[in-house]
Amino acid sequence: MLIASLAILAGLALLVWSADRFVEGSAATAGHFGMPPLLIGMVVVGFGTSAPEMVVSALAASQGNPGLALGNAYGSNITNIGLILGITAVIAPIAVHSQVMRKELPILALVTLAAAWLLFDGELSRLDATGLLVLFALVLGWSIWSGMRKTDDVFATEMDAELATHPMPIRNAMLWLVVGLVLLILSSRILVWGAVDLATRFGVSDLVIGLTIVAIGTSLPELASSIIAARKGEHDLALGNILGSNLFNTLAVVGIAGSIAPMAVANEVLIRDIPVMVGLTLALFVLGYGFRGPGRINRVEGVGLLAIFVGYTAYLLSTTF
């Protein structure tokens, strides 16, 4: 048990560190090859911050642990909105300025509802997974097209400043890209092994481990970047980080896992976890969209999101043990 616990802690620490190195190396490499800053922000960094969830869920699916694969993806979505956005709003209320953000909020809500409907037959087939990946490609393409039309977009401005402030030689950039990717895979294998071993020893389902320990751990990059962005007053970046991550998790992470190994969807996921994820996503849409003006998530609403996350987690653990 001690070895499994240490494997989880070491795996999470190495996962977060390697994901950060991978994002830096990828962004710098893309910049050297002339990729537009907006494209780097939305694709490279978006992929990089969701890389932990992708690799962990893909490995879990390939090793026959569907609960861990789905729990990691949906648990990360719940953590992103309830815990991370809740903490971020308590630290600094979030104003939704960008029209891009106000367009992506309803898209995330619709995508979440569509993904939930797709799984309600109790199975994630390869056809379902292909549908999720196709939808992901369409949403990503639309986001890039919309963003490229706005030359003064906040994402482009921030990424331009970031690349100018932290220039990295091409050799170092490519080194960190490769090293980060290798360590991502290695740390994910360690984490999955530790999580499955711990779940077996305690008689807990890998779904619960995925929804709690693994989901919170793999969401640490989003927590750090959202808090930093909010403290700098870059509200669109803080919210965009969460929206992008949840879109990646719902469509790409689950789609990749399902394409590797079709899986049955546990009844608990259908009646407990997906409704909570959908509810939080719709709450985020209502709070952030701003039907009569600029959207805003204040401190009281942030506390409310945190309360939902704590209540959900407490219920999950109490029913498990």
Give CA–CA dist 321/319, Å, rounded: 6
Question: Which range of residues forms the domain containing residue 125?
Answer: 2-320
DSSP state letter for 1: -
Residue 158 has pLDDT above 50, yes or no: no
Flag whether pLDDT at 130 surpasses 90.
yes
As for how many domains the chain has, the answer is: 1
Is residue 193 over pLDDT 50? yes
Element (H, E) at 124: strand 123-124
Nearest to 74 by CA among 221, 246, 287: 246
Q: What is the pLDDT of residues 234-285, one digit of tens each?
A: 666 677 778 888 988 999 999 999 999 999 999 999 999 999 999 999 998 8
Give the rounded distance of the alpha carbon of 123 from its chain centre. Answer: 22
Mean residue pLDDT of the chain comes to 81
For 169: left if phi > 0, alpha if psi spans -120 to 50, otherwise beta; the answer is beta
Q: What's the length of the chain?
A: 321
* Sign, Cα dihedral of 249, 296, 155, 152: positive
Predicted confidence band of residue 154 (pLDDT cuts 50, 70, 90): very low
| Cβ–Cβ under 8 Å, residues 186 and 59 | no
**At 73, which CATH number?**
1.20.1420.30
Residues 6+ apart with CB under 8 A from 147: 38, 42, 100, 153, 155, 156
